Structure 1
């Protein structure tokens, strides 16, 4: 048994040595969605409060693992009454299910800057696998007052069915079942020394 643990430690050593965490730059990130109202017009919304990070061992982030948490109570569609309805038991039931989460299980290159991110989305107490289209820009190194910093940007999109998560019932007379997920995110590579302190 001891030999097994030693073997595992040796096997994981390269990842531990090179794994990097990238933290989200919230000032340059937006997590949102679009639905169709009355089958006539599109309504956009986003979550004002969220957190996200990326963990990767490879410098090109080809093995990236994405994690996101969004606060349902921070939903914003530019209409206070509509936001209140979305938070109610008729839709998200924010009092009972306050968070939406996503964690990727794979990140595969399609071509060029295009990738497919597959993972588990949990919403309204239901977890389902989803596939998202991702465009990655970077990583690039920028000069800052504190020195050089690596950053990377992602444009994310995908479509889910709200009925799969029990959000808003099955009727599509008022709100479409299909929900388009949209995300534009910027991440900064965390300094290794800071990561060790945490």
Structure 2
């Protein structure tokens, strides 16, 4: 709004200034359309095997709480392996493993963490791992796609689809002589489908913990070494 005020003021002054009686005011010529700058080409990212950079990865989930808020928690211990091909998404694969005992909560009441990892919820002692293995990768746009895979949770395996945004990457850098790629992903599933229906609200109410689990993932992966990476310094001669 502020940017248009000077233009309005100039137009008002022009309207109040005296004009010759025999001279018509010509309408200003329309501005030529501004050409959209082309996007820079994507970096040439090598295809190959990539490992999760755990320093730059988060796995967060949300569930409805009584209809008043979306309770948000995370897992701190997880790993993933990615076979990535920027030019052939269908050839890419992803496998991930989560330690359910690494559940982290915001200011949990005493005993609450143990309750959630216990038999009524995650049952982490009986089921010590949550896994995801992709079965299909497809593109939906220049930098977006869907990754469908088998999620094994609470001893039950069912398909889940993640909406993924490819944030880009590079083939290597002097400070990091390996390829690197980054992604943002979102997905959801019903926990009751995986045998965790405890606390799900009765139909028509919100008194409980929602059945739908919303998942948000941010992840960077490190890949093949840069072809021109500097050689490791030679060890000094032993005396």
| Superposed pair shares fold, TM > 0.5 | yes
Distance of 1:122 and 1:145 partners within structure 2:
38
**Contact 2:189 2:214 (C-alpha < 8 Å) held by counterparts:** yes
Note the 1:42-61 alignment, pairs <5 A: 42-56=70-84, 58-60=85-87
State TM-score, norm by structure 1: 0.81
Summarize deviations over 1:40-83 as a string: whole Å, max 9, x none: 11111111111101013x34461210110000000012234332
Note the 1:131-170 alignment, pairs <5 A: 131-145=161-175, 147=177, 149-169=178-198
1:176 counterpart = 2:205? no
**Contact 1:23 1:190 (C-alpha < 8 Å) held by counterparts:** no
Summarize deviations over 1:81-101 as a string: whole Å, max 9, x none: 332211011101011011100
Note the 1:105-144 alignment, pairs <5 A: 105-144=135-174
Match of 2:118 in 1: 88
Q: How many residues align?
A: 174
Tell me: CA distance 1:140–1:104, structure 2 relative to 1, closer, same or farther (3 Å).
Answer: same
Distance of 2:125 and 2:86 partners within structure 1:
40
**Contact 2:199 2:209 (C-alpha < 8 Å) held by counterparts:** no
Distance of 2:131 and 2:197 partners within structure 1:
18
The runs of 5 or more residues in structure 1 that have no matched partner are 1-17, 193-198
Match of 1:14 in 2: none
Note the 1:6-25 alignment, pairs <5 A: 20-25=48-53
Distance of 2:71 and 2:113 partners within structure 1:
12
Summarize deviations over 1:89-140 as a string: whole Å, max 9, x none: 1101011011100010111000121101001000000000111100011232
Tell me: CA distance 1:131–1:146, structure 2 relative to 1, closer, same or farther (3 Å).
Answer: closer
Distance of 1:155 and 1:68 partners within structure 2:
15
Distance of 1:32 and 1:69 partners within structure 2:
14
**Contact 2:162 2:187 (C-alpha < 8 Å) held by counterparts:** yes
For 2:102, which of 58, 61, 74 is the aligned residue?
74
Instruction: Identify the structure with bigger relative contact order (alpha carbons < 8 Å, sequence gap 6+).
Output: 1
SS in 2 for 1:23: strand
Q: Cα RMSD between the aligned structures?
A: 2.1
Distance of 1:88 and 1:79 partners within structure 2:
18
SS in 2 for 1:26: strand
Match of 2:8 in 1: none
